Amino acid sequence: MRIAILSLYSGHIDRGVETWTREMASRLRKRKNDVLVLQGSDEKIKTDYEVQVVDIQIIWKYRGGEDNFSQIISWFYWFSLNFSFTLRSIPILVKFKPDIILPTNGGIQTLLIKIASLIFGWKIVITGHAGIGAPEKWNLLMRPDIYVSPSIRGKNWTKNLWFSKGLRIENIPHGVDLEKFSPGKKDFKLPLERPIILCVSSLDPFKRVDLVVRAVSKLEKGSLLILGGDRDQGMVTALAEKLLGRERFMLMKVSPAEIPKFYRNSDLFTLPSNEFEAFGIVYLEALASGLPVVATDDALRKEIIRDAGILVNPEDIDVYAKALEKALKTDWGDKPRNQAKKFSWDKVVKKYESLFQELTNKV
């Protein structure tokens, strides 16, 4: 099969969507499919699948503010980037002649690809990367051939929307590379007091990283390591330096290749995102690395973490802090790793490939 993936932000940043794109493309190619990834910048990494860069320059300060005017400017800015990227991608797609196309950026991209698919006969499969809310409602209104929710919670929400009636909706979770992320010796020294509590995340408001800082500050010992950054970085850094001091806090940006060693050399993982989190591949990366997880108590996190961690209401800082302390004192054995094994990328990609074969009648 010929499969194309559109990923505007690949090469610019590395979040769950970009990880999904890279893993899907690589593993689909290994299964003898022709794969093309169209992305907004050059990742400068060697791939076994075809990559074409549709160069898009991004000014990150336009990610919006709290006032209405800033939000309007931000919306138009990101709309224009997505429009330009997708419109310039279509001639490349026409030349590639995909059987299946996977648009990942939503909004105007979904509409343009829908129109093109009606002309050129492409089959569209959309995965719900944006979680529960308006962006996914728009994707559903575009009536893809198949809509894939990465969570059972998301699938149930989708099926209850009146305009999703008659649409084929499937549940396929995101995955984790069990070889790349695995337990190992803590042989990488960080200038932080142990135990080290790790949080891998952007600093978008819905991630609620400030709650992690406040909870860790309640512990008598231990440090917080945040891998990520960008939006609200100054606010989070200022809060952490005030409550934890520089001896117990570090915020870093590292390449995707370096991340596994930070998981292996930490003692606990936590991320208290709210209900708008679509999935959370970082939870699987932590579990695969043998780390227990403390996260938000909701249906999504129950699906992912099960008995390999502790789920709490992180807005109650005292309760959150006690959960961190309890998780650090508990012997979790192989529970985290065994839970992660249920989500191997190989299993995930086989499920997607099966859907693609049904759509195209190609085996």
Q: Which fold has domain 2-175+344-360?
A: Rossmann fold (3.40.50)
pLDDT recorded at residue 230: 65
Q: Which tops the pLDDT comparison, 258 or 4?
A: 4
pLDDT recorded at residue 232: 59
Residue ranges of domains in the chain:
2-175+344-360, 196-342
In the predicted structure, residue 363 carries a pLDDT above the cut 60: no
Q: Which of 3-12, 178-187, 337-346 has the lowest mean pLDDT?
A: 178-187
Tens digits of residue pLDDT in 51-96? 999 999 988 766 665 667 777 888 899 999 999 999 999 999 999 9
Mean pLDDT of 316-339: 96
pLDDT recorded at residue 322: 97
The span from the CA of 188 to the CA of 259, in Å, is 12
pLDDT recorded at residue 132: 86
Q: Which of 80-89, 121-130, 203-212, 335-344 has the lowest mean pLDDT?
A: 203-212
pLDDT recorded at residue 245: 86
Q: Which tops the pLDDT comparison, 62 or 318?
A: 318
Average predicted confidence (pLDDT) for the chain: 92
pLDDT recorded at residue 231: 59
- Fold agreement (2-175+344-360, 196-342): yes
Percent of the chain with pLDDT over 90: 74
pLDDT recorded at residue 62: 65
Q: Tokens 């109650």 label which residue?
A: 316
In the predicted structure, residue 268 carries a pLDDT above the cut 80: yes
- 324 closest CA partner among 283, 272, 360: 272
In the predicted structure, residue 220 carries a pLDDT above the cut 60: yes
Tens digits of residue pLDDT in 95-113? 999 999 999 999 999 999 9
pLDDT recorded at residue 134: 87
Confidence of residue 184 (pLDDT cuts 50, 70, 90): confident
In the predicted structure, residue 233 carries a pLDDT above the cut 80: no
Tens digits of residue pLDDT in 187-203? 778 888 899 999 998 87
In the predicted structure, residue 186 carries a pLDDT above the cut 90: no
pLDDT recorded at residue 93: 98
pLDDT recorded at residue 44: 78
Q: Which of 62-66, 133-137, 264-268, 292-296 has the lowest mean pLDDT?
A: 62-66
pLDDT recorded at residue 291: 97
The span from the CA of 293 to the CA of 328, in Å, is 10
In the predicted structure, residue 362 carries a pLDDT above the cut 70: no
In the predicted structure, residue 120 carries a pLDDT above the cut 80: yes
Percent of the chain with pLDDT over 70: 96
pLDDT recorded at residue 326: 96
Options 3.40.5.90, 3.30.1490.20, 1.10.357.10, 3.40.50.2000; CATH of 196-342 = 3.40.50.2000
pLDDT recorded at residue 147: 97
pLDDT recorded at residue 224: 94
